[in-house]
Amino acid sequence: MEELLKGFEVPPKNSSEAALRRWRKLVTIVRNPRRRFRMIANLEKRSEAEQQKLKIKEKIRVALIVQKAALQFIDAAGPLDYKITDEVRQANFGIEPDELASIVHGHDIKRLKSHGGVDGIAEKVTVSLDEGVLSENVSTRQRIYGFNQYTEKPPRTFWMFVWDALQDLTLIILMICAVVSIGVGLATEGWPKGMYDGAGILLSIILVVLVTAISDYRQSLQFRDLDREKKKISVQVTRDGRRQQVSIYDLVVGDVVHLGIGDQVPADGLFISGYSMQIDESSLSGETDLVDIYEQKPFLLSGTKVRDGSAKMLVTAVGMRTEWGKLMETLNEGGEDETPLQVKLNGVATIIGKIGLTFAVLTFLVLTVRFLIEKALHNEFTKWSSTDALTLLDYFAIAVTIIVVAVPEGLPLAVTLSLAFAMKQLMDERALVRHLSACETMGSASCICTDKTGTLTTNHMVVNKIWICEKISNIGDNENKNIDELEIHESVFSIFLRSIFLNSSAEVVKDENGKNSILGTPTETALLEFGLLLSADHDAYRRRFKILKVEPFNSDRKKMSVLVALPEGRIQAFCKGAPEIVLRMCEKVVDSSGEVVLLSEERVRDITEAINGFASDALRTLCVAVKDVGETFNENGIPDSGYTLIAVFGIKDPVRPGVKEAVQTCLAAGITVRMVTGDNINTAKAIAKECGILTAEENAIEGPEFSSKSPDEMKDIIPNIQVMARSKPSDKLNFVTNLRNMFGEVVAVTGDGTNDAPALRQSDIGLAMGIAGTEDLPLSQLYNCFGLI
């Protein structure tokens, strides 16, 4: 059987169209291809959709490149004349939906300026850029400007499934047999006796069709529910004067959306404000170069991705008025690729079907030949009656019945149902499965490369210890009594708070009850919570100091920096990030008396010991530093040397309950668990030991050291690596690639940020920690980055 199934093999991931077509050609005998292949990719429709997609991309490419160049040669003109419909005017809006959408589509800066720029557009869609949309106006905006939903194929009705079931070749043959049987029976035996055989066959057919159609229809409803769950994605917007999360389907024109690294732009819009914003438009235009977004180039297109920086965006077009909406419409065609097991079971069904067909033909031939011989022996070969015709019809019905019984047409569908049931069970466990094949591949995993933060740990971070003014203070779990005892020199206190409040991507917002809540990554949240406990007014610091430039944190820089203008006219730069990065940038430090002194080698050793001590206690370490820049603002960048070290934080992130038991279960099942993290190696070791992952000190390595090894050296050390710390995205990708290619491992990777995307895409199974993990990378973006879950 294994030899026969050789042709029925496809790669478990990213199968080529040629491979998919090859095995389908082998399925030469299919009783009902319309039903058997209904849950898998329709290659013809997929090809048509791909052509349509390429046309749309070319159109967008022209709009982004050619049209932008052509606009430079158009003479300046006054405001463009166009009529506003009564419906738009009565809704108190000053711009038509198509006019608003076309400004962003065409990157038409001239028309944007004719409408008064971003502020003018905001006025015409009656929204305050500070307060955002009012909730009571959402329905009006949806009525005028549309919903942020894409056109999808209408769901199939029950009668469509009945029709599909009736396409079965054997059922068609049986229906013909039934009609012939009724005709012959009525002619020879009369009413009602002549109806019995034919009516019995028809009732059986009706029963089979109804059972098949009901099963398929219920299955389609289940898939529709699963698909609806997959699409529940939230974005952060300012509404009713406060920052909150809403579903992407509830976005309306006029919403002020907050974007950060890794986000997918959820609708077309205009840049309001932000820092170092770079967009990847390759998903639309095919151009791989990153595009800088700023006040003079403010156009943001739905479906593009934020590769660097952060910004606020004014939504100008949603749903099918965006080019991404038209692309999404093409993605409705084609269906999902088959899983390897589905392909093999289709092969098994086909082979058994051929065997069944062979025996059915032989049975019919043997019975017919025997019948003819008997007639010849009784000298009745020339005498034929309706009874003889019914006898031959019965023989034919027997042959058809053998085919029906022998060919396991429901086998591949049963696998699909089983995988769908597994998806449902996993969803009940709050694990949302993106593709059916993941349920199958998960059972074959031999290695898990897990992230630390948010996966092995609870991802609820608090400042536990702090080194400042050459002293280590134990804060506990941000207990007020310990905060009150914290000794920070008066001359350092103000700068210390600035480094927390101003150099942060998190925000303090008020909820519906008027209570403060913090929106941001867990690390940022921990620092802001600590600052607020020092009885400091976050909003007062934000209002008093003006932020001139921001370099957001990313996995390559491993730091975040800002330039801040002080009220007296001076400019200060603040930096926070990984200790080994920030410490190299520092030349001075604040001593125990609050004075700024040179950072001698002895002091560096003391600080390093403090950092290692924090890390050995399984604390995440973070350094903050400051530099007086002077009175000139350098547009080219923020300084990366000459800083003064202010403090070192030790942030606690407790291990998630049950992790140690889960690791032991995996090890007992023969699955190797490896931790791959960007944290300090001592922190990573401490957590790995607590989880039962690390068994020997020499089994831990840092990412840069690993990537510097030759292929032969990697082959020797990879089997023993249990912890990889300070890893960059390229290190993680390199590790996963070698595990798969060198050792043939089936690798599962967990991830919670853009730095994990390359490894997730390369892995056999990608697990997005979008609920339990951090929200650095929305699920929508992860789904675009990798293949399985």
Give the three-state DSSP class for 336: coil
Measured between alpha carbons, how far is 332 from 526 in angstroms, rounded to an integer? Answer: 42
Contact 531, 578 (CB under 8 A): no
Q: Are 682 and 608 in contact (CB under 8 A)?
A: no
**DSSP per residue, 544-600:** HSEEEEEE---TTT-EEEEEEE-TTS-EEEEEEE-HHHHHHHEEEEE-TTS-EEE--
Task: Specify the amino acid at residue 393.
Answer: L
Q: How far apart are CA 443 and CA 669, in angstroms?
A: 11
For residues 282 and 327, is the Cβ–Cβ distance under 8 A?
no
> How long, in residues, is the chain?
789
Active site residue 197: no
What distance, in Å, lies between the first and last C-alpha atoms of the chain? 31
Q: Characterize 705-739 residue by residue with b for buried, 16 or more Cβ atoms within 10 angstroms of its Cβ, and e for exposed.
A: ebbebeeeebeeebeebbbbbbbbbbbbbbbbebb
Residue-wise burial string across 541-566, b where 16 or more C-beta atoms lie within 10 A, e elsewhere: beeebeebbbbbbbbeebbbbbbbbe
Non-local (6+) Cβ contacts of 388 within 8 A are: 371, 375
Paired tokens of 287: 């151009």
Short-list 28, 31, 8, CA closest to 20: 8
- The enclosing H or E element of 368 equals helix 340-377
Q: CA dist 722 to 184, 277, 677, 689, 696, Å?
A: 77, 37, 11, 10, 9
Q: Is 587 left (phi over 0), alpha (psi -120 to 50) or beta?
A: alpha
Bridge partners of 571? Answer: 565, 630
DSSP 380-419: -TT---HHHHHHHHHHHHHHHHHHHHH--THHHHHHHHHH
Sequence-separated (6 or more) residues with CB below 8 Å from residue 457: 653, 654, 655, 656, 687
Nearest to 335 by CA among 49, 595, 760, 97: 49
Q: Which of 446, 421, 288, 427 is nearest to 763 (CA)?
A: 446
Rg, the chain, Cα only: 34
The residue from 164, 168, 268, 451 that is catalytic is: 451
Do residues 582 and 559 make contact, with C-beta atoms less than 8 angstroms apart?
Answer: yes
- Using DSSP's 3-state secondary structure scheme, residue 201 falls into helix
Q: 559, 696, 554, 680: which is closest to 608 by C-alpha?
A: 680
C-alpha distances in Å from residue 476, one per residue of 409, 430, 481, 535: 64, 32, 10, 17
Catalytic positions, written as ranges? 451
